[in-house]
Amino acid sequence: MKKFIISGFLVLICFTGAWAADKTPTVLSNKEAIDLVQTHADYVWTLVAAALVFFMQAGFAMVETGFTRAKNAINIMMKNMMDFAMGSLAFWAVGFGLMFGVSKTGWFGTSGFFLSDFKPGGDPWVLAFWMFQVVFAATAATIVSGAMAERTKFVGYLIYSVVISLLIYPVFGSWAWGGLYKGGGWLEHLGFIDFAGSTVVHSVGGWASLAGTLVLGPRIGKYMKDGTIKPILGHNIPLAALGVFILWLGWFGFNPGSTTAANKDIAMIFVNTNLAAAAGATLAMITAWIKFGKPDAGMTLNGALAGLVAITSPCATVTPMSAIIIGAIAGVIVVLAVLFFDRIRIDDPVGAISVHGVCGAWGTLSAGIFNIGGTSLKIIGVQLLGIAACFLWVFPTAFLLFKLIDVTIGLRVSPEEELEGLDFTEHGGTAYPDFEISHAGGMGSTAGFGSLMGGTASEKMLRKPAEQT
Amino acid sequence: MNKIEAIIKPFKLDDVKDALNKIGINGMTVNEVKGFGRQRGHKEIYRGAEYQVDFVPKVQIDVVVDSSLVDQVVEAISSAANTGKIGDGKIFVLPVNEAVRIRTGEKGEHAI
């Protein structure tokens, strides 16, 4: 009904405009009405895109639970639900102001807290813009829950998710994106290209994940004393795949929506986004096939995400051909990165550090290399500076945050709780009460003699869970 | 009376059930089980890391029959479950002391 009134109103404006101009309407005489239509289209596109990006929370939830054990499924759902819920409140109160408020120094904004830029009856653009930005902040926050899955104390995670949305994400965001609203950061003044946030969103989440996994230590039973790696199987690969499809869909809001304007640019951004994801999945599959002899599903799923993360920064400033190259390289990088982090005993159950941290950095660099308007050492230098600035801001602050949580309320659950599963110990429930779930050694349905033997190694870890044996 | 426990490959369950029906066996109990024998499981890959699956999924069929039928049942199961490849499973024959049909209270061979 409301829609009818609005469109009726629009038609009315058009007509009155036409009459005023002696019944021969021209583009010029109708300028006001045309501008209004454009403004309304911008609102609609920005908010539809925001809804698509919001749905990525579901994608992350499915990917993360698919790649982890059934005994922690409720915990993953709660983390994904609450980092969005509490993150929204934190971003409303403080984060948005820090990121997009007036910035005299170029280091952080100082106005617009509690959405104070909106006055009832005033211009509602700040609301549409806030809605689009809050789902981005939540994306950065939720990346971390996968890397820290299956061993993090719930209350510790809640505190982290408030702090990243309130402080860590907005401060870096203000350096690169503040000028999209009232701010203006030092990085964007240098010409830093990060259209939709390979660095601003994904690397921030990725490096925070790295800090979190380092403070937490690996899951019990993952790394054996004799140096072998025991994979801990995810309980539902179809759910993980569904999550990747949802994320791919959501990215059509994430990248093309970052125009925050309904214009023709979104077509190329759409195509680039899709092609990079396609190339990422394909090359990750081929890399896995060559390396392991089989087209590994987990790696292929990560490859699609790697391509998406990489194209996020350059999506508006490279050709479709470049997008394919960028995604393809990301697909190779992500497989090697997952293997690398496993080898140095950083336990990241879903590959968040590789997908979001490493491929976010690659995508940001690629925006300089493949820039449609030509590249130069200066452009690439600024991209590298942005990548480094992100790491140097996020990693230390997140590490400190997790350490503080660890020494005060504790970041990791007890070994007994970890073995029992967080669903029961943290949330008092079971995700799949109608199914029998194997807890032995945490190896899911393939729980084997080997993993039970592995339990003896775990016994020693019971005393000092964070120790990397 | 004897109990025949057959541990077979899961995808052979239908064939074995049909073979048993054909020789007049009209009752059985089926369990999903895991285990290993001389083959010692097999290797799988998850996200690039190889791991040993020691307990391979199998199906266990329990049939209790009159002792005179044992050879026929064992033959039916082993020919229906045979693929000739490693991991076809095993059949055990056990004595049964007593059987009771709960609904009627019948005992012994009348109860099976």
pLDDT tens per residue, range A197-235: 999 999 999 999 999 999 999 999 999 998 889 999 999
Give the separation between CA A64 and CA A378, rounded to whole angstroms: 39
**Interchain CB distance below 8 Å, A448 and B47:** no
Ordered by where they begin, the domains of chain A are 48-408 (1.10.3430.10)
For residue A1, what pLDDT is reported? 52
Give the separation between CA A305 and CA A221, rounded to whole angstroms: 27
Among the partner residues A299, A446, A448, nearest to B47 by beta-carbon distance: A299
Give the separation between CA B84 and CA A255, rounded to whole angstroms: 56
Q: Name A56's Cβ contacts closer than 8 Å, sequence gap at least 6.
A: A135, A139, A246, A247, A250, A251, A253, A254
**Interchain CB distance below 8 Å, A299 and B45:** no
Q: Tell me the mean pLDDT in the region A243-258.
A: 98
Question: What is the residue type of B92?
Answer: F
Percent of chain B with pLDDT over 70: 100
Give the separation between CA A433 and CA A417, rounded to whole angstroms: 18
A446 interaction partners in chain B (CB closer than 8 Å) = 44, 51, 53, 55
| The overall pTM is greater than 0.95 | no
Sign of CA dihedral A431, A435, A440, A445: negative
Residue A438 is encoded by which pair of tokens? Answer: 């194997």
Give the separation between CA A194 and CA A216, rounded to whole angstroms: 31
pLDDT digits (tens, 9 = 90+) for A368-378: 999 999 999 99
- From chain A residues 350-389, the ones with a CB under 8 A of any chain B CB are 351
Q: Tell me the mean pLDDT in the region A119-136.
A: 96
Q: In what order do the strands lie in the sheet with B89-95?
A: B29-35, B56-65, B2-8, B89-95
What is the distance in angstroms between the Cα of A237 and the nearest Cα belonging to chain B? 11
Q: Name A36's Cβ contacts closer than 8 Å, sequence gap at least 6.
A: A10, A13
Buried/exposed A76-103: b ≥16 CB within 10 Å, e otherwise: bbbbbebbbebbbebbbebbbbbbbbeb
pLDDT digits (tens, 9 = 90+) for B47-98: 888 888 889 999 999 999 999 999 999 999 999 999 999 899 999 999 999 9
State how far the alpha carbon of B8 is from the alpha carbons of A22, B3, B37, B57, B100, in Å: 90, 16, 12, 9, 27
Give the separation between CA A169 and CA A173, rounded to whole angstroms: 6
Nearest CA in chain A to B33: A445
The candidate with the shortest Cα–Cα distance to A9, out of A33, A31, A25, is: A33
pLDDT digits (tens, 9 = 90+) for A114-127: 999 999 999 999 99
Maximal CA-CA distance, chain A: 90
Give the separation between CA A329 and CA A279, rounded to whole angstroms: 8
Residue A439, pLDDT above cutoff 60? no
For residue A105, what pLDDT is reported? 94
Tell me the CATH architecture of domain B2-111.
Answer: 2-Layer Sandwich (3.30)
**Interchain CB distance below 8 Å, B54 and A288:** no
The candidate with the shortest Cα–Cα distance to A445, out of A69, A47, A58, A5, is: A69
pLDDT digits (tens, 9 = 90+) for A453-467: 333 333 334 434 444
Mean pLDDT computed over every residue of chain A: 91
For residue A400, what pLDDT is reported? 98
CA dihedral A115, A120, A121, A124 (to 10 degrees): 30
Lowest mean pLDDT among A26-35, A70-79, A318-327, A399-408: A26-35
Contact at 8 Å (CB) between A193 and A314?
Answer: yes
Q: Tell me the mean pLDDT in the region A61-79.
A: 97
**Interchain CB distance below 8 Å, B55 and A447:** yes
Residue A65 is encoded by which pair of tokens? Answer: 């639970």
pLDDT band at residue A13, thresholds of 50, 70 and 90? low
Q: Tell me the mean pLDDT in the region A267-295.
A: 97
CA dihedral A456, A458, A461, A462 (to 10 degrees): -90
Percent of chain A with pLDDT over 90: 85
Residue A354's Cβ-side half-sphere holds a number of Cα atoms within 13 Å equal to 30
pLDDT digits (tens, 9 = 90+) for A352-371: 999 999 999 999 999 999 99
Contact at 8 Å (CB) between A410 and A156?
Answer: yes
pLDDT digits (tens, 9 = 90+) for B102-111: 999 999 989 9
B51 interaction partners in chain A (CB closer than 8 Å) = 230-231, 443, 446, 450
Chain centroid to CA A337: 18
Q: Tell me the mean pLDDT in the region A134-159.
A: 97
Cβ neighbours around A223 below 10 Å, total: 21
Give the separation between CA A303 and CA A137, rounded to whole angstroms: 23
**Interchain CB distance below 8 Å, A291 and B49:** no
